[in-house]
Amino acid sequence: MGMKIGAQLPSLEGATEWFNGTQAHAEAEALGHPTLVHFWSVSCGICKENMPRVAQLRDTKRDQGLRVVGVHMPMYKADLDAERVRDQISTLGMTEPVALDHRAKLRDAFLNDEGYVPAYYFFDAEGKLRSFAAGARGFDMVVAAIGRILPAQEPVVSVANPGE
Amino acid sequence: MTAAAAVATEKAQVGQPAPDFEMASTRNIEKLNEPVKLSDYRGKWLVLVFYPLDFTFVCPTELTTFSDRYDDFTDIGADVIGISTDSVYSHRAWLNTPRENGGVQGLKYPLAADATKTVARDYGVLIEDRGIALRGLFVIDPEGILRYKVVHDLNVGRSAEETLRVIKALQTGGLCQAEWKPGDKTLN
C-alpha cells in the first residue's frame, strides 16, 4: 500500500553496495536533516531525464539543510551490473550517496511494493515522511513540497546584527 | 437538462487552478467559527465531495464511507471536505444525529456550508432551479490545481475506494515499474 505520510525514515540497512559514501555516512547525513530519498534505475529513462533536476536541487538546497540519498533499484536482471550503475552515477552527475539495492531490502523497507521508479520520498528533519510521489510529474510535486517545508526546517537564524 | 444548466457556468477545469473558496464549516462543531478555505489545504491533496442536502437518504452512506476510509486518505497526504448548500446549523444537527437515524454522527472531516451557492456554481455542480448541488467530486493537488472531477446523477453515490485509487494514480503518474525483483520467484 506504500509508505504512509508521517512514517519514519527506515534504516538504510541491506544495500549490496554503496557508492559516494557508506550506509553510515548516508544515515549520518540524513540524521536531523530534511532528506530526499530517490529510487532510480539504470533502465529508467524518466529517472535519467529527471536526474539533472535532482542534482540541482541537491546542490542549491544543501545550504538550507537538504540532504539527498539515491537508491538504485534494478528493474531487470541486467540492471544488477554494478559497473554499469557506477558509470551511470558518474554520467548523471550523482554526487550523493547511492545504495545499490540489489537484494530489494530498501525497496521493501520503503514499501515500494509496486517497484516504482523514479520514486521520491521526502522526510523532514525529524525523519517523518512529508511527501511521496513517483514518475515524471512526481518530481514536481516533491520539489513543491520541499519548497514549502524546507524554509520552516532551517535552524533559527538570528536577525542580522545591525552593528556589523 | 439540469446538468447542462450546471455546466454552463463552470469554472472548474482539470489542469487549471481550482476555483477558490471560503465557507463556514463544522471544523469547530461547538462554535461553528472555523471556515474552510482552499489555501488552508496547500500542501495536501484535497477531495471536495458535493452532495445535495443534509438529512437525505443516499448521502449518509456515501459521506460515512469517506469517513470510514478517512485514515487511508490522510495516509497518502489527502484531506476531505463535504459540501452542500445547507447552513452550518443544519450540518451540525445532522452531525449530531446517529447513523442509525439517518445522521452522520462521528464524521471525521468537516462539512462546509455553501449557503450562497457560489462554490457549487463555480465548480459547475449547482442545479440552479433547485438550489442544490449534484453529486460532484473533485480532487485538488497540493499546489491547488484541479486534477480530477466526476459528477454523478443524484441517485448514484461515489466511491471512496475509487477516489483513493485516483489520488494514488495522480501521485505516481508517468513512471517506470520494475518487472523483476531480486529473490522474488513470482515475478519474472
Model pLDDT for residues B15-69, shown as the tens digit of each residue: 999 999 999 999 999 999 999 999 999 989 999 999 999 998 666 788 999 999 9
Break chain A into its structural domains and give their ranges: 17-152
Residue B87 lies in a domain: yes
Q: What is the model's pLDDT at position B111?
A: 98
Residue B184 lies in a domain: no
What's the CA gap between B91 and B59, in Å, rounded?
13
Give A138's pLDDT tier (boundaries 50, 70, 90).
confident
Residue B159 belongs to domain with CATH number: 3.40.30.10
Identify the CATH number of the domain defined by range A17-152. Answer: 3.40.30.10
Active site residue B176: no
* Distant-in-sequence contacts of B116-121, Cβ < 8 A, 24+ apart: B117/B85, B118/B21, B119/B19, B119/B21, B119/B23, B119/B83, B120/B50, B120/B83, B120/B85, B121/B9
- Expressed as residue numbers, the domain containing B80 is 2-171
Nearest Cβ partner of A77 from B143, B174, B180?
A: B180
What's the CA gap between B114 and B109, in Å, rounded?
16
Q: What is the model's pLDDT at position A1?
A: 61
pTM of the model: 0.83
The answer to whether residue A119 scores a pLDDT higher than 80 is: yes
What's the CA gap between A16 and A80, in Å, rounded?
10
pLDDT single digits (tens) A46-104 = 999 999 999 999 999 999 999 999 999 999 999 999 999 999 999 999 999 999 999 99
Q: Whose CA is closest to A116, among B78, B121, B171, B156?
A: B171
Give A154's pLDDT tier (boundaries 50, 70, 90).
low
Which residue out of B49, B59, B88, B127 is catalytically annotated? Answer: B59
* Chain B contact present for A41, CB below 8 A: yes
Q: What is the model's pLDDT at position B1?
A: 44
Residue bearing the bigger pLDDT, A163 or A135: A135
Smallest Cα distance from A27 to chain B, Å: 24
Q: What is the model's pLDDT at position B59?
A: 64
Average pLDDT, chain A: 91
C-alpha cell at B27: 471544523
Estimate the crossing angle of helix B160-171 against helix B58-68, to 10 degrees.
40
Q: What is the model's pLDDT at position B128?
A: 94
Q: Whose CA is closest to B153, among B6, B12, B13, B48?
A: B6
Q: What is the model's pLDDT at position A163?
A: 41
What's the CA gap between A135 and B78, in Å, rounded?
19
Where b means 16+ CB within 10 Å and e means fewer, B139-161 reads bbbbebebbbbebbebeebbbbe
Q: What is the model's pLDDT at position B185?
A: 54
Overall average pLDDT of the A9-16 stretch: 97
Q: Which H/E stretch holds residue B2?
A: helix B2-7
Residue B178 lies in a domain: no
Residue B43 vs residues A87, B15, B145, B170: alpha-carbon distances, Å: 37, 17, 11, 15
B90 residue type, one letter: S
Residue B10 lies in a domain: yes
pLDDT-flagged residues of chain B (< 50): 1-5, 186-188
pLDDT single digits (tens) A30-57 = 999 999 999 999 999 999 999 999 999 9
A2 residue type, one letter: G
> Burial level of A14, CB count in 10 A (0-12/13-18/19+)?
middle
Q: What is the model's pLDDT at position B188?
A: 39
The answer to whether residue A107 scores a pLDDT higher than 70 is: yes
Nearest Cβ partner of A76 from B43, B173, B179?
A: B179
Q: What is the model's pLDDT at position B158?
A: 86
Partners of residue A77 in chain B, C-beta under 8 Å:
180
* Chain A contact present for B15, CB below 8 A: no
Residue B187 lies in a domain: no
Tell me: ipTM over 0.95: no
> Structural domain tally of chain B?
1
